[in-house]
Structure 1
Amino acid sequence: MSGDFATQVAVVTGGGKGIGRIIALALAREGADVLVVGRDAAALEETCAAIRTLGQRGIAVAADVTQPEQVARLGATIDAECAGQVDVLVTAAGTRDTQQATVDALDLAQFDAVIQGNLNGTLLPVRCVLPFMKARRQGKIVAISGVFGLKGQPGHAAGCSSKWAVEGLVRVLAREMGPYNINVNAVCPGYVEGPRADASLERMAAERGTLAQERRQALEAATALGRLSTADDVANAALFLASARARNITGRDLIVDAGWML
């Protein structure tokens, strides 16, 4: 452990499962105390228990990050448990776009749910921590976005629209928060190994009448490195952008896709 985040306090949304959990644990290994935010209280407690085994404080905040009144719990916890200190925010909570529909066939309720989940799920936690960061005139914000926020993907109007919106928010925040010494960046993963990618591969295979393994091989072949990314790859990118080593990087995207977007 390098201790890059020793004495720091980090907030990770979506930290109970998946990429968010891996990021929360990675921050703890580097010396941070971590507030883990999400809807699944049991999963949050499991992550916090793992953080404590690493010798750091793990604090669970059960909240739906798309609901302002619930996000307010996070602010209250930062005040009560951390004396108003928050050095890092990583927004890893999000809503997956599973419609696979063209724009003219979209279910608008599902479209709105994805927009709310990805855009408001980023915006509201950011708004919550900004007063604390501005008061101390320092902070690092890392939004977990995605490569669909950088390109159009047929059948994914909601996912692309929401991630493009997150990209715009990152750039506005970087300009607005620069005077307060707050860096704001995005990590843009491609396909990431795990249950979500497996489910997506199964869906694509069913639609095309092929096997999931064949779809995986096709995706791997489309990357420069011939492989998919892992949650650890995404966590390493987030830790870099949240660290002092990235002190002069703001308003930027760090793509983690094994060269798929080239």
Structure 2
Amino acid sequence: MKRVLITAGASGVGRAMGEAFDAAGWQVWVCDRDASALADVPEAWRRSLVDVTDEVAVSGLFSEVSEVWGGVDALCANAGIAGPTAAIEDVSLQDWQACLAVNLEGAFLAAKYAAPLMKAAKAGSIVVTSSTAGQYGYPFRAPYAAAKWAVIGLTKTLAMELGPYGVRANVICPGAVEGPRMEGVLAREAEAKGMSRDAVYEGYASGTAMGRFVEGKDVAGMAVFLASDTARLVSGQVIAVDGFTVNPDPKV
């Protein structure tokens, strides 16, 4: 049975990934910094309370994974935060750094400690969650967009560096995903732009060819595919799961 580790796997897209891998017959291990959310994951899943910005904690997690599982077949580096919604001149350095720490450094640390296990096995798949903000930019969300662009460069580099060892690395770029985190983004963006929440929502939805938001299960299905043997020669790719963004700037 194949083994997947999912960061920020206790809720949202990460939880959907866990459910999809579980349904596909994988062993699932999730880490999260939210203890209450972790307590609610299925009993069959392994779980660890970990802050992905803490290198000691991440190192310890992979040591435990190695000891318990003997390795890992797939890593979903999914941890992320929305960061501030503000004009660039109003973004504090502290908020900038906090956003990059989770979205970029969290992915780096997970890959750093997963790589030796996968290289030793001469096989593995790393799937990093970016965003369409990492393809087009994102007004009033400079730290988030910068981090999501950066993880694409990181992942393409991983694909080059680890490919000779049989390890693949790919990026998923979700569009706007239905759920509590996006609701927070909508509220903050509505305030920043002087618009209603519904108007901002419609701006996002109408900016896609399919005219709708993404659901966690849509992103999860792509993660399972990229981790599977069916995608054995898919590496270094940036795949949007967004209903096809045709207007990346959701303003009216």
Q: TM-score range by the shorter chain?
A: over 0.9
Match runs of 1:106-145 below 5 Å: 106-145=91-130
> Is 1:87 paired with 2:87?
no
TM-score by length of 2: 0.93
Aligned mate of 1:182, from 143, 161, 167 = 167
Q: How many residue pairs are counted as aligned between the two chains? A: 247
> Aligned letter for 1:138?
A
Q: Percent identity?
A: 35
- Distance (whole Å) between structure 2 residues aligned to residue 180 and residue 48 of structure 1: 33
What is the DSSP-based 3-state SS (H/G/I as helix, E as strand, rest coil) of the residue aligned with 2:75? strand
Unpaired runs of at least 5, structure 2: 248-252
Conservation of the 8 A alpha-carbon contact between 2:66 and 2:72:
no
Aligned mate of 1:45, from 36, 39, 44 = 39
Conservation of the 8 A alpha-carbon contact between 1:65 and 1:71:
yes
How far residue 86 of structure 1 moved from its aligned partner, in angstroms, is 0.4
> Is 1:61 paired with 2:48?
yes
> Is 1:247 paired with 2:247?
no
Aligned to 1:3: none
- Distance (whole Å) between structure 1 residues aligned to residue 78 and residue 120 of structure 2: 24
Aligned mate of 1:78, from 65, 89, 97 = 65
- The one-character-per-residue Cα deviations of 1:52-105 (angstroms, maximum 9, x if unpaired) are 2xxxxx1111111111101122122112211x2200100111121223222x33
Q: Root-mean-square deviation (CA), in Å?
A: 1.4
Structure with larger RCO (C-alpha < 8 A, sep 6+): 2
How far residue 261 of structure 1 moved from its aligned partner, in angstroms, is 4.2
Conservation of the 8 A alpha-carbon contact between 1:36 and 1:48:
no
> Is 1:150 paired with 2:135?
yes
Conservation of the 8 A alpha-carbon contact between 1:170 and 1:186:
yes
What is the DSSP-based 3-state SS (H/G/I as helix, E as strand, rest coil) of the residue aligned with 1:47? coil
Unpaired runs of at least 5, structure 1: 1-6, 53-57
Aligned to 1:97: 83
TM-score by length of 1: 0.90
> Is 1:161 paired with 2:146?
yes
Aligned to 2:25: 31
- Distance (whole Å) between structure 1 residues aligned to residue 78 and residue 117 of structure 2: 20
- Comparing 202-211 and 247-256, the one that deviates more: 202-211
